[in-house]
Amino acid sequence: MSLAYETIATLRRRLLSKEIHPRDILKDLFTQIDAREKTLHAYTYLHRESALAAAEKADLSLPLGGIPIALKDNLNTLGDPCTCASKILEGYKAPYDATAVSLLRQAGSILLGRTNMDEFAMGSSTENSALGLTRNPWDPTRIPGGSSGGSAAAVAGRIALAALGSDTGGSIRQPAALCGCVGLKPTYGRVSRYGLVAFASSLDQIGPLTRTVEDSALLLSVLAGHDPRDNTTDLRPPEKFLTQKNGSVQGLRVGLPKEYFLPGMDSETESAIRSAADWFKKNGATLVDVSLPHTPTAIAVYYILATAEASANLARFDGVRYGRRATDARDVLDLYHRTRSEGFGAEVKRRIILGTFVLSQGYADAYYRQAQKVRALLRQDFEKAFTQCDLLLTPTSPEPAFPLGERTQDPLKMYLADVFTISTNLAGNGAISLPCGFTKSNLPIGLQLIGPRFGEETILRAAHAFEQSHDFLQRLPPS
């Protein structure tokens, strides 16, 4: 079997035993990329020559020595384009490494390439990319999810072993669910955001998309830790996760929040999630009915706070300092207007305008400050729930991947794709999505496990136990 189909953990063992060389992994990955990338369009940039050069001098003694990793195109990497899938960053090359990228390098990883995304991470389908849409490996007529759709499609399509993504409202977990891979959003503050192009700074978090829970735990062990360049990172020392790979769910209290089982939810999705809950019960966990009563407000709160922060963060893209610059502008105001009009796509403009509105004089009290108060209530809902249980079990997405183009003209319907993931970002908790079934049309269904803040060890242990008891990862997209 091609090495492109192996897990990181398996390849590390084979590398250490000298059975294979890092160049062998890259050779098989590039063969897969050449065969599938034209259809999937998961990448915006590939490191063919530099990756092969790095493979020749890889230090196999390091935790990720010789392992190629792909990066979402909003992580600054020294000397690389960092477009955020936007025309406004045409020609920009990063002058430094994001902390997450530096940590991957220090762990011996080989940078494979940069993956496609919704422009500035604003979207749920990767159809908002100025560099072309990405397709789902299970059905190329359907979306891969977003905004980390390129990362998810690359991992699921066997053209990357693993990839980093960013999650502001579900952008790691939702595409992982729709593409049938594992997506981990760490607790806010667990992983440094330094060098991640900001969308909404109080919500953004970097995390891995992988084939297995074990691989996600390995990457989190490399990425986690305090960074003095990001004062929102937690001071606790780095940890190793999933140290007991044969753990069980015996004795765990697993909460089922009633607000996440909605009338009208896709019946195959609900059936798969209910079956997963039954598995936990049969294997020694206790199921607890819980309530997160402010969940119905989460979409509205998110699209006030996230757009407000986006309005401030994206003000830096003005055509003066870097990236696209409009030509023949009459004056500075015209330069700003034309640069931003030409450079930003429709969805980014929509969110900047909304964010500017909710921060404007006379409306900030009515919208922005009220949303902050409700966010505090949402956080309290989670804190109360975790006095009754150790984990929450929910769907990741209310339905499987939908057809390309189905929602591009209906932003409100598109926003509902993240209805089960947004609350976790608002509360700052960690969560994982992993496969828990397939529809009759052979589309993946994702299970979400949410933990208390800095509860990744419990999340990963439970997810790994579930994964090892099922064969969902043995199923592959059609070649």
Which pLDDT tens digit goes with each residue over 99-117?
999 999 999 999 999 999 9
pLDDT score recorded for residue 319: 87
Tokens of 162: 């693993």
Together in a domain, 30 and 119: yes
> Domain with 195 in it: what CATH number?
3.90.1300.10
- Look at residue 241 and tell me if it is in a domain: yes
Tokens of 301: 């709160």
147 is catalytic: yes
Together in a domain, 324 and 442: no
Residue 243 pLDDT grade (very low, low, confident, very high; cuts 50, 70, 90): confident
Residue 466, Ramachandran bin (φ over 0: left; ψ between -120 and 50: alpha; else beta): alpha
- Look at residue 385 and tell me if it is in a domain: no
Instruction: Return phi, psi of residue 390, to 5°.
Output: -95, -30
Among residues 147, 166, 311, 433, which one is catalytic? Answer: 147
Together in a domain, 247 and 326: no
Together in a domain, 365 and 430: no
Together in a domain, 355 and 399: no
Among residues 166, 171, 311, 423, which one is catalytic? Answer: 171
- Look at residue 290 and tell me if it is in a domain: no
CA dist 126 and 118 (Å) reads 4
Together in a domain, 363 and 406: no
pLDDT score recorded for residue 475: 93
Q: What's the mean pLDDT in 320-331? A: 87
CA dist 342 and 371 (Å) reads 31
Q: How many domains does the chain have?
A: 2
Cβ atoms of 322 and 92 within 8 Å: the answer is yes
171 is catalytic: yes
Which residue range is the domain that position 237 belongs to? 3-254+395-474
Together in a domain, 100 and 242: yes
pLDDT above 80: residue 244: no
Together in a domain, 354 and 450: no
Residue 180, Ramachandran bin (φ over 0: left; ψ between -120 and 50: alpha; else beta): left
- Look at residue 340 and tell me if it is in a domain: yes
Say if residue 332 is exposed, middle or buried (CB neighbours under 10 Å; 0-12, 13-18, 19+). exposed
- Look at residue 233 and tell me if it is in a domain: yes
- Work out the widest C-alpha separation in the chain, in whole angstroms: 71
* Beta-carbon count within 10 A of 266 CB: 15
- Look at residue 53 and tell me if it is in a domain: yes
- Look at residue 285 and tell me if it is in a domain: no
Together in a domain, 210 and 247: yes
pLDDT score recorded for residue 38: 97
Q: Tell me the average pLDDT of the chain.
A: 96
Q: For residue range 123-152, what is the model confidence (pLDDT) as tens digits?
A: 999 999 999 999 999 999 999 999 999 999
Q: Which of 316, 347, 375 is the last residue of a domain?
A: 375
373 is catalytic: no
Give the 3-state secondary structure of residue 33: helix
Together in a domain, 370 and 400: no
Q: For residue range 185-230, what is the model confidence (pLDDT) as tens digits?
A: 999 999 999 999 999 999 999 999 999 999 999 999 999 999 999 9
CA dist 41 and 49 (Å) reads 20
pLDDT above 90: residue 9: yes
Q: Which residues of 222-256 are buried (b: 16+ CB within 10 A; e: fewer)?
A: bbbbebeebeebbeeeeeebbeeeebbbeebebbb
Together in a domain, 201 and 232: yes
- Look at residue 381 and tell me if it is in a domain: no
Together in a domain, 230 and 336: no
In this structure, of 89-98, 104-113, 242-251, 424-433, the range with the lowest mean pLDDT score is: 242-251
In this structure, of 180-184, 257-261, 315-319, the range with the lowest mean pLDDT score is: 315-319
Q: What's the mean pLDDT in 393-421? A: 95
Q: 354 to each of 237, 305, 336, 340, 462, how far by Cα in Å?
A: 39, 10, 18, 15, 39
pLDDT above 80: residue 294: yes
